Protein backbone atom coordinates (compact mmCIF):
# COMPACT_ATOMS: atom_id res chain seq x y z
CA UNK A 1 0.00 0.00 0.00
CA UNK A 2 2.01 2.96 -1.31
CA UNK A 3 -0.50 5.69 -0.38
CA UNK A 4 0.08 8.77 -2.54
CA UNK A 5 2.95 8.72 -5.03
CA UNK A 6 4.34 11.59 -7.09
CA UNK A 7 6.72 11.80 -10.02
CA UNK A 8 9.22 13.26 -10.59
CA UNK A 9 10.85 14.08 -7.24
CA UNK A 10 12.98 16.87 -8.66
CA UNK A 11 12.76 18.92 -11.86
CA UNK A 12 14.57 21.91 -13.30
CA UNK A 13 12.90 23.83 -16.11
CA UNK A 14 13.80 26.86 -18.15
CA UNK A 15 11.33 29.72 -18.38
CA UNK A 16 8.70 28.93 -20.99
CA UNK A 17 9.10 25.15 -20.88
CA UNK A 18 6.17 22.92 -20.04
CA UNK A 19 5.88 19.85 -17.89
CA UNK A 20 3.36 17.59 -16.17
CA UNK A 21 3.53 16.44 -12.57
CA UNK A 22 2.00 13.05 -11.97
CA UNK A 23 0.15 11.86 -8.88
CA UNK A 24 -1.49 8.54 -8.06
CA UNK A 25 -3.20 7.16 -4.96
CA UNK A 26 -4.11 3.57 -4.08
CA UNK A 27 -6.47 4.29 -1.16
CA UNK A 28 -9.64 4.34 -3.29
CA UNK A 29 -10.15 7.98 -2.36
CA UNK A 30 -12.66 10.08 -4.24
CA UNK A 31 -10.98 13.49 -3.84
CA UNK A 32 -7.54 14.66 -4.87
CA UNK A 33 -5.66 17.94 -4.48
CA UNK A 34 -2.60 19.83 -5.68
CA UNK A 35 -0.82 22.22 -3.34
CA UNK A 36 2.28 24.33 -3.55
CA UNK A 37 4.48 25.10 -0.55
CA UNK A 38 6.69 28.16 -0.44
CA UNK A 39 8.86 29.44 2.43
CA UNK A 40 6.83 31.66 4.74
CA UNK A 41 3.60 31.03 2.81
CA UNK A 42 2.39 27.68 4.03
CA UNK A 43 0.51 25.23 1.85
CA UNK A 44 -1.74 26.78 -0.79
CA UNK A 45 -4.32 24.91 -2.83
CA UNK A 46 -3.87 25.10 -6.60
CA UNK A 47 -6.63 22.82 -7.91
CA UNK A 48 -8.72 20.01 -6.56
CA UNK A 49 -10.92 17.24 -7.85
CA UNK A 50 -13.83 16.41 -5.59
CA UNK A 51 -14.59 13.26 -7.53
CA UNK A 52 -13.65 11.52 -10.76
CA UNK A 53 -14.65 13.70 -13.70
CA UNK A 54 -14.66 17.02 -11.84
CA UNK A 55 -11.98 19.63 -11.21
CA UNK A 56 -12.12 23.06 -9.56
CA UNK A 57 -9.81 25.97 -8.94
CA UNK A 58 -8.26 26.53 -5.56
CA UNK A 59 -6.56 29.59 -4.14
CA UNK A 60 -3.71 29.94 -6.69
CA UNK A 61 -4.73 28.34 -10.03
CA UNK A 62 -3.15 30.80 -12.50
CA UNK A 63 -0.55 29.22 -14.76
CA UNK A 64 -1.67 25.66 -14.06
CA UNK A 65 -4.03 23.09 -15.53
CA UNK A 66 -5.11 19.74 -14.14
CA UNK A 67 -6.53 16.47 -15.39
CA UNK A 68 -8.30 13.82 -13.34
CA UNK A 69 -7.34 10.89 -15.51
CA UNK A 70 -9.28 8.31 -13.50
CA UNK A 71 -10.09 7.70 -9.84
CA UNK A 72 -6.44 6.98 -9.00
CA UNK A 73 -4.58 9.64 -10.98
CA UNK A 74 -4.53 13.44 -10.93
CA UNK A 75 -1.96 15.38 -12.95
CA UNK A 76 -0.83 19.00 -12.81
CA UNK A 77 0.45 20.74 -15.93
CA UNK A 78 2.53 23.86 -16.26
CA UNK A 79 2.09 25.06 -19.85
CA UNK A 80 4.72 27.81 -19.82
CA UNK A 81 6.80 27.74 -16.66
CA UNK A 82 7.77 30.97 -14.91
CA UNK A 83 10.32 31.57 -12.13
CA UNK A 84 7.40 32.39 -9.80
CA UNK A 85 6.37 28.74 -10.10
CA UNK A 86 9.56 27.58 -8.39
CA UNK A 87 8.16 25.71 -5.41
CA UNK A 88 7.56 22.34 -3.83
CA UNK A 89 4.39 20.71 -5.12
CA UNK A 90 2.36 18.25 -3.09
CA UNK A 91 -0.45 16.02 -4.17
CA UNK A 92 -2.97 14.85 -1.57
CA UNK A 93 -6.08 12.72 -1.43
CA UNK A 94 -9.04 12.24 0.89
CA UNK A 95 -12.01 9.92 1.04
CA UNK A 96 -14.37 12.82 0.31
CA UNK A 97 -13.90 16.52 -0.41
CA UNK A 98 -14.60 18.73 2.55
CA UNK A 99 -14.66 15.86 5.02
CA UNK A 100 -11.89 14.26 7.01
CA UNK A 101 -8.14 14.24 6.72
CA UNK A 102 -6.02 14.46 3.60
CA UNK A 103 -3.02 12.25 2.92
CA UNK A 104 -0.02 13.73 1.17
CA UNK A 105 2.56 12.49 -1.28
CA UNK A 106 6.33 13.03 -0.93
CA UNK A 107 6.39 16.14 -3.11
CA UNK A 108 8.07 17.40 -6.29
CA UNK A 109 10.71 20.09 -5.96
CA UNK A 110 10.53 22.29 -9.07
CA UNK A 111 13.01 24.98 -10.00
CA UNK A 112 12.34 27.32 -12.93
CA UNK A 113 15.35 29.30 -14.14
Partner 1 sequence: EDQVTQSPEALRLQEGESSSLNCSYTVSGLRGLFWYRQDPGKGPEFLFTLYSAGEEKEKERLKATLTKKESFLHITAPKPEDSATYLCAVHPSGGSQGNLIFGKGTKLSVKP
Residues in contact with partner 1 by the rule CB under 8 A? 4, 33, 40-45, 48, 56, 58, 90, 92, 97-107
d(CA 86, CA 88): 7
Q: Pick between residue 17 and residue 37 the one whose CB is nearest to partner 1.
A: 37
Who's near 72: CB < 8 A, 6+ residues apart? 24, 25, 26
Report phi then psi at 83, rounded to 5: -55, -30
CB 20 → partner 1: shortest distance, Å? Answer: 19
Report phi then psi at 85, rounded to 5: -90, 5
Q: Pick between residue 18 and residue 54 the one whose CB is nearest to partner 1.
A: 54
CB 15 → partner 1: shortest distance, Å? Answer: 25
Q: Pick between residue 17 and residue 50 the one whose CB is nearest to partner 1.
A: 50
Amino acid sequence: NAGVTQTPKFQVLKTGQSMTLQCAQDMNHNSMYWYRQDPGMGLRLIYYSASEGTTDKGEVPNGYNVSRLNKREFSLRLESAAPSQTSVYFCASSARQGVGEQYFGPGTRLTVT
